[in-house]
């Protein structure tokens, strides 16, 4: 049964050239040293400052459940990034785990992928792309690719990369192409029920076609209700579609459909679906046509939320509750909140290098934050709890997993 939801929101847009490689790798007890903390340490290495990041007397109470057994927390970053010989560092539970030297041009956070304690860096060198693991070459392939996604599985290391010189992309396993196209735009690489998926769009004769790739095989997609297909995703074995109709957006699975009011005066630039519980949620990237300012329409369940796009937004749905992270327009604050801006907390004076600087685990969200005033970077979690790290530089990633 179709359901229309018409909800009005007040939107304020104004606020809302040496080769790298390991020169030295040091492991063991000699690498462990105490981290610097802003206040007296507490269990788990986190501490709560006397005042929160907004200068209030009390922090907002955590809205996440803490895992019964504290997880293992890895973080990675670059020390002395402005020097000729920066050092890459991986931390385990706040302590230095290992470090190695990097070429100066390898400090870009977009090329860094932290998977457990292992740090991968994907760099284009001449006509080839090389993936380094902990400072040593893991594999190379003859193509100039920017790696957008990376997933480590039992059968190998999978990458999804786009051609740096023009159109086209490739899905690879340990550097060997499994699926590729000379044109088209790929979406996010993900795993559902042990299958590897991503979708891609392709312009044919002025019309945009969309395809789903499952374990290296692609299938053409069509809009189930005849609208313009904006995004698709497989979640818990079921395929979901987001499409635009005459006056509404439709988010539909095999047995359900929800309609959301389209926003007059806004143009759609892109959209993405996220698995959320037993269904999917949508984030539609929009622009206010009269002002050219970004906005996002977030659709969860039977509700929608129109929010300012700020200077960059990230969305996390790996575990409930969902989390939305947005920089304010002036880049002065990082806002962390739930749907509709619920339980918002703000962090001032931080850099947040990429979406890989946050990860959900066990009902909690962990952020790898770098300070803009030169103070030590820190790991942040709900309730404004912080774990400061001994690093003269910035963090580029975080990975949280269960202890052995």
Could you give the CA distance from residue 87 to residue 105 in angstroms, rounded to a whole number?
Answer: 12
User: Is 224 among the domain residues?
Assistant: no
Q: For residue 257, what pLDDT is reported?
A: 95
Instruction: Name the phi and psi angles at 29, rounded to 5.
Output: -60, -30
Q: For residue 320, what pLDDT is reported?
A: 84
> Confidence class of residue 293 from pLDDT cuts 50, 70 and 90?
confident
Arithmetic mean of pLDDT over the chain? 85
- Who's near 17: CB < 8 A, 6+ residues apart? 103, 105
Residue ranges making up the domain that contains 317 = 32-107+312-404
More confident residue, 281 or 57: 281
Mean pLDDT of 284-311: 89
Pick the closest to residue 49 from 350, 385, 388, 373 (CA basis): 385
Tokens of 89: 């560092």
Per the listing, tokens 């909690």 go with 364
User: Is 49 among the domain residues?
Assistant: yes
Per the listing, tokens 């200077």 go with 311
Q: For residue 65, what pLDDT is reported?
A: 65
User: Is 364 among the domain residues?
Assistant: yes
Tokens of 244: 């635009």
107 touches 391 (CB < 8 A): no
Rg of the chain taking only CA atoms, in angstroms? 22
User: Is 19 among the domain residues?
Assistant: no
Asked whether the predicted pLDDT for residue 99 surpasses 90, the reply is yes
Q: What is the DSSP string of 347-364?
A: EESEE---GGGEEEETTE
222 touches 229 (CB < 8 A): yes
Mean pLDDT of 198-210: 91
More confident residue, 84 or 152: 152
- Who's near 204: CB < 8 A, 6+ residues apart? none
Mean pLDDT of 175-195: 96
Could you give the CA distance from residue 124 to residue 115 in angstroms, rounded to a whole number?
Answer: 20
- Who's near 394: CB < 8 A, 6+ residues apart? 77, 78, 81, 109, 351, 353, 370, 377
Could you give the CA distance from residue 243 to residue 222 in angstroms, rounded to a whole number?
Answer: 10
Work out how many domains the chain is built from and give that number.
1
Asked whether the predicted pLDDT for residue 5 surpasses 70, the reply is no
Q: pLDDT tens digits, residue range 237-265?
A: 999 999 999 889 999 998 899 999 988 89
Kindly state the percentage of the chain with pLDDT values over 90: 68
User: Is 85 among the domain residues?
Assistant: yes
Instruction: Name the phi and psi angles at 43, rounded to 5.
Output: -60, 135
360 touches 316 (CB < 8 A): yes
Query: If DSSP codes are grouped into helix, strand and coil, which group holds residue 105?
Result: helix
- State how beta strands 257-261 and 4-5 pair: parallel
Q: For residue 49, what pLDDT is reported?
A: 52
Q: For residue 173, what pLDDT is reported?
A: 98
> What pTM was computed for the model?
0.84
One-letter-per-residue 3-state SS of 42-63: CHHHCECCCCCCCCCCCCCCCC
Query: If DSSP codes are grouped into helix, strand and coil, which group holds residue 308?
Result: strand
Q: For residue 310, what pLDDT is reported?
A: 67
Angle 186-261-303 (CA atoms, 0-180°, nearest 5)? 85
User: Is 50 among the domain residues?
Assistant: yes
User: Is 373 among the domain residues?
Assistant: yes
Mean pLDDT of 388-400: 97
260 touches 251 (CB < 8 A): yes
> Confidence class of residue 319 from pLDDT cuts 50, 70 and 90?
confident
Q: What is the DSSP string of 259-307?
A: EEEPPTTEEEEEEEEEEETTEEEEEEEEEETTTTEEEEEEEETTEEEEE
Could you give the CA distance from residue 341 to residue 321 in angstroms, rounded to a whole number?
Answer: 13
Kindly state the percentage of the chain with pLDDT values over 70: 83
Could you give the CA distance from residue 88 to residue 76 in angstroms, rounded to a whole number?
Answer: 7
Q: pLDDT tens digits, residue range 33-71?
A: 333 333 333 334 788 754 444 333 334 444 566 667 889
């Amino acid at each position: 049964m179709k359901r229309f939801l018409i909800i009005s929101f007040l939107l304020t847009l104004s606020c809302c050239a040496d080769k790298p490689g390991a020169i030295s790798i040091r492991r063991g007890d000699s690498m462990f040293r105490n981290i610097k903390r802003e206040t007296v340490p507490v269990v788990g290495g986190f501490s709560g400052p006397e005042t929160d990041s907004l200068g209030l007397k009390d922090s907002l109470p955590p809205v996440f459940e803490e895992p019964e057994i504290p997880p293992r927390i890895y973080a990675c970053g670059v020390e002395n990034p402005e020097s000729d010989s920066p050092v890459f560092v991986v931390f385990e539970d706040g302590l230095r785990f290992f470090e190695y030297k990097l070429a100066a041009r390898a400090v870009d956070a977009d090329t860094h992928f932290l998977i457990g304690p292992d740090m991968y860096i994907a760099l284009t060198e001449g006509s080839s792309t090389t993936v380094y693991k902990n400072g040593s070459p893991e594999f190379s392939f003859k193509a100039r690719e920017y790696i957008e996604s990376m997933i480590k599985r039992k059968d190998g290391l999978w990458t999804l990369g786009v051609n740096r010189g023009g159109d086209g992309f490739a899905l690879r396993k340990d550097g060997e192409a499994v699926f590729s196209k000379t044109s088209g735009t790929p979406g996010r690489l993900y795993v559902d029920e042990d299958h590897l998926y991503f979708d891609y769009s392709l312009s044919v004769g002025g019309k945009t076609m969309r395809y789903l790739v499952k374990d290296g095989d692609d299938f053409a997609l069509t809009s189930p209700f005849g609208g313009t297909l904006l995004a698709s995703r497989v979640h818990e074995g079921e395929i979901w579609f987001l499409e635009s109709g005459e006056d509404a957006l439709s988010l539909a699975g095999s047995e359900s459909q929800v309609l959301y009011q389209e926003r007059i005066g806004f143009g759609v630039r892109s959209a993405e679906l996220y698995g959320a519980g037993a269904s999917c949620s949508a984030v539609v990237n929009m622009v206010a046509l009269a002002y050219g300012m970004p906005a996002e329409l977030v659709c969860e369940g039977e509700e929608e939320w129109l929010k300012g796009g700020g200077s960059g937004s990230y969305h996390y749905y790996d575990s409930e509750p969902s989390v939305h992270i947005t920089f304010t327009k002036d880049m002065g604050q990082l806002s962390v909140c739930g749907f509709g801006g619920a339980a918002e907390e703000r962090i001032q004076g931080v850099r947040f290098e990429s979406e890989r600087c946050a990860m959900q685990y066990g009902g909690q969200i962990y952020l790898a934050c770098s300070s803009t005033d030169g103070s030590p970077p820190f790991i942040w979690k709900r309730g404004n709890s912080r774990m400061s790290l001994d690093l003269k530089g910035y963090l580029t990633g975080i990975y949280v997993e269960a202890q052995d």
